[in-house]
């Protein structure tokens, strides 16, 4: 059979790179996707199991708005905002998808400082927008030059993506700089991705109270250990909430995920334990890695290491042979081919990684 329906050859979608998730190899230590080494709270698992058993949670029924509202109310309490400013989605990915649909279309542009989370550029291209890439300052700590960013803006700029802490570089953007950007570009939505904020020293969330063009995105995938359930949210100015509801796919957060996220927010002890483990593991990795390669200070649950003149792909392959997967950053636009990103694991996993990396880097063939 001849296939006659094809995607338009001139469509920018032809240029898209497939999203490359962190590698999962059965039996290997996985330090490639910035997940929670402790897993979810045991209270979450209990809450789901009990609700399924006593049929509070009915899998045959569409998610109930009342449960969604309860989750939004719990999130509102957690972040200290009113419930009207909270929207949810299937992970930050799902929330971003909705926001990009709202703000970007043909002829509009988005600013993306790189290297950063690759989904931003894919969503912009899929929506028919044009990404404008700003290189982060490589010689320092991958900071953003606000002057360069603003110079790349024009009257078609509708979104500016700021990941803080940034994936894969681990650094945050200063509040003063976000203010400067938001004030200079009132026609553009500044989307601050705080996927890793629980591991950072501060948050930019309060800017949503002051600026009508700032949104902050958060997730249950990292500090709460629920990556497999896909729940994220955003704190947005009230004027945008109605539009968000209209554009978002209905029922995109499933009933089990809603129940799990509510239970996760109630177990603050598990949250604190997770953050403590990550912070001490991060210090351990930073202190020890700097003895064998260049490592960047991080406010997230991962660290970035520069292995130049070695190639990141060669080092990742060698680590894989030793049963450990880390993230090869060569797939991040603008990162070059010598960086790896290592998620903070349990102390035992961190020690194994360190030993393996020492061994790999000291091998003669490098
Ligand atoms: C900066 C950043 N934003 C968003 C995500 C995805 O978050 P979620 O699992 O909530 O879709 C990731 C995942 O690694 C990330 O690094």
194 in ligand 1 pocket by Cβ < 6 Å? no
pLDDT in tens, 318-343: 999 999 999 999 999 999 999 999 99
Q: How far is CA 82 from the centre of its chain?
A: 24
Question: Beta strands 29-31 and 324-328: pairing type?
Answer: parallel
Question: How far, in Å, from the CA of 233 to the mean position of ligand 1?
Answer: 11
Query: What is the DSSP secondary structure assignment for residue 191, as one 8-state letter?
Result: E
pLDDT value of position 18: 82
Please indicate, yes or no, whether residues 284 and 185 belong to a single structural domain of this protein. no
Average of per-residue pLDDT across 173-193: 98
Beta strands in the chain (DSSP E): 29-31, 86-89, 109-114, 130-135, 157-163, 189-193, 214-219, 232-235, 294-296, 302-306, 324-328, 339-343
Please indicate, yes or no, whether residues 216 and 340 belong to a single structural domain of this protein. no
Q: How far is CA 127 from the centre of its chain?
A: 20
Cα–Cα separations (whole angstroms), residue 220 to 46, 167, 173, 227, 230: 17, 16, 22, 7, 7
Q: Which of 90, 92, 304 to mutate to test the pocket of ligand 1 (most atoms within 8 A of CB)?
A: 92
Question: How far, in Å, from the CA of 362 to the mean position of ligand 1?
Answer: 33
Which tokens go with 247? Answer: 């554009």
Please indicate, yes or no, whether residues 278 and 257 belong to a single structural domain of this protein. no
Which tokens go with 177? Answer: 């700089």
224 in ligand 1 pocket by Cβ < 6 Å? no
Please indicate, yes or no, whether residues 27 and 84 belong to a single structural domain of this protein. no
* 184 domain residue, yes or no: yes
92 in ligand 1 pocket by Cβ < 6 Å? yes
Short-list 363, 302, 256, 349, CA closest to 33: 302
Average of per-residue pLDDT across 249-269: 97
pLDDT tier, 15 (very low <50, low <70, confident <90, very high otherwise): confident
Tell me the C-alpha distance between 290 and 311, whole Å: 18
Please indicate, yes or no, whether residues 58 and 17 belong to a single structural domain of this protein. no
* 68 domain residue, yes or no: yes
Q: Are 289 and 326 within 8 A, CB to CB? A: no
pLDDT in tens, 270-287: 999 999 999 999 999 999
Question: How far, in Å, from the CA of 115 to the mean position of ligand 1?
Answer: 14
Question: How far, in Å, from the CA of 279 to the mean position of ligand 1?
Answer: 19
**Residues facing 295 on adjacent strands:** 305
170 in ligand 1 pocket by Cβ < 6 Å? no
* 4 domain residue, yes or no: no
Identify the domain containing residue 289 by its residue range.
12-39+269-362
pLDDT value of position 152: 98
Tell me the C-alpha distance between 357 and 363, whole Å: 10
Residue ending a domain, choose from 267, 298, 319? 267
Report whether pLDDT(1) > 60.
no
206 or 8, higher pLDDT = 206
232 in ligand 1 pocket by Cβ < 6 Å? yes
- State percent of the chain over pLDDT 90: 89
pLDDT value of position 31: 97
* 23 domain residue, yes or no: yes
Tell me the C-alpha distance between 349 and 284, whole Å: 12
Tell me the C-alpha distance between 256 and 252, whole Å: 12
* 91 domain residue, yes or no: yes
Closest protein CA for atom 7 of ligand 1: 92
Average of per-residue pLDDT across 31-52: 96
Report whether pLDDT(232) > 70.
yes
163 in ligand 1 pocket by Cβ < 6 Å? yes
343 in ligand 1 pocket by Cβ < 6 Å? no
The 3 state secondary structure assigned to 85-152 is HEEEECHHHHHHHHHHHHHCCCCCEEEEEECCCCHHHHHHHHCCCEEEEEECECCCCCECCHHHHHHC
Residue ending a domain, choose from 247, 267, 287? 267
Residue ending a domain, choose from 267, 294, 323? 267
* 7 domain residue, yes or no: no
Report whether pLDDT(356) > 80.
yes
Angle made by CA atoms 178, 180, 181, in degrees to the nearest 5: 65
Tell me the C-alpha distance between 300 and 343, whole Å: 9
Burial of 239 (0-12, 13-18, 19+ CB in 10 A): exposed
Question: How far, in Å, from the CA of 105 to the mean position of ligand 1?
Answer: 23
Tell me the C-alpha distance between 354 and 341, whole Å: 13
116 in ligand 1 pocket by Cβ < 6 Å? no
Q: Which of 23, 34, 117 to mutate to test the pocket of ligand 1 (most atoms within 8 A of CB)?
A: 117
Location of structure tokens 């920018």:
12
pLDDT value of position 177: 98
Nearest atom, ligand 1, residue 93 CA = 11
The whole-chain average pLDDT of the chain stands at 95
Question: How far, in Å, from the CA of 149 to the mean position of ligand 1?
Answer: 23
Report whether pLDDT(20) > 90.
no
Tell me the C-alpha distance between 239 and 193, whole Å: 20
Please indicate, yes or no, whether residues 32 and 168 belong to a single structural domain of this protein. no
- Whether the model pTM is above 0.85: yes
pLDDT value of position 131: 96
pLDDT in tens, 77-119: 999 999 999 999 999 999 999 999 999 987 899 999 999 999 9
pLDDT value of position 363: 83
Number of domains in the chain: 2
Question: How far, in Å, from the CA of 92 to the mean position of ligand 1?
Answer: 6
pLDDT value of position 2: 58
Report whether pLDDT(4) > 60.
no
């Amino acid at each position: 059979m001849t296939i006659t329906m094809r995607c338009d050859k001139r469509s920018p979608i032809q240029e898209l790179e497939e999203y490359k998730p962190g590698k999962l190899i059965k039996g290997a230590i996985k330090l490639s996707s910035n997940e929670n080494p402790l897993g979810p709270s045991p209270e979450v698992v209990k809450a789901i199991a009990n609700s399924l058993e006593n049929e509070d949670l009915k899998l045959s029924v569409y998610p109930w708005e009342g449960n969604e509202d309860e989750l939004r109310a719990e999130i509102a309490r957690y972040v200290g905002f009113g419930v009207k400013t909270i929207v949810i989605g299937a992970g930050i990915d799902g929330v971003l998808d909705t926001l990009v649909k709202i703000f970007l279309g043909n002829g509009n542009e988005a600013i993306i400082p790189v290297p950063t989370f690759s989904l931003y550029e894919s969503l912009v291209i899929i929506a028919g927008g044009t990404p404008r890439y700003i290189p982060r300052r490589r010689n320092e700590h991958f900071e953003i030059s606000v002057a360069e960013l603003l110079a790349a803006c024009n009257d078609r700029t509708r979104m500016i993506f700021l990941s803080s802490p940034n994936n894969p570089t681990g650094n945050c953007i200063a509040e003063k700089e976000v203010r400067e950007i938001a004030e200079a570009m009132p026609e553009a939505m500044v989307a601050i991705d705080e996927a890793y904020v629980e591991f950072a020293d501060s948050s930019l969330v309060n800017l949503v109270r002051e600026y009508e063009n700032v949104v902050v995105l958060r997730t249950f995938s990292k500090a709460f250990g629920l990556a497999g359930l896909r729940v994220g949210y955003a704190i947005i100015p009230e004027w945008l909430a109605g539009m968000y509801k209209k554009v978002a796919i209905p029922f995109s957060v499933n009933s089990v995920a809603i129940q799990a996220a509510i239970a996760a927010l109630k177990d603050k002890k598990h949250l604190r334990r997770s953050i403590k483990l990550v912070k001490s593991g991060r210090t351990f990795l930073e202190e020890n890695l700097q003895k064998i390669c260049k490592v960047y200070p991080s406010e997230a649950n991962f660290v970035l290491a520069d292995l130049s003149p070695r190639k990141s792909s060669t080092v990742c392959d060698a680590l894989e042979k030793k049963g450990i997967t880390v993230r090869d950053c060569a797939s991040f636009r603008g990162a070059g081919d010598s960086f790896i990103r290592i998620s903070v694991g349990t102390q035992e996993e961190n020690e194994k990684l360190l030993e393996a990396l020492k061994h790999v880097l000291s091998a003669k063939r490098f």
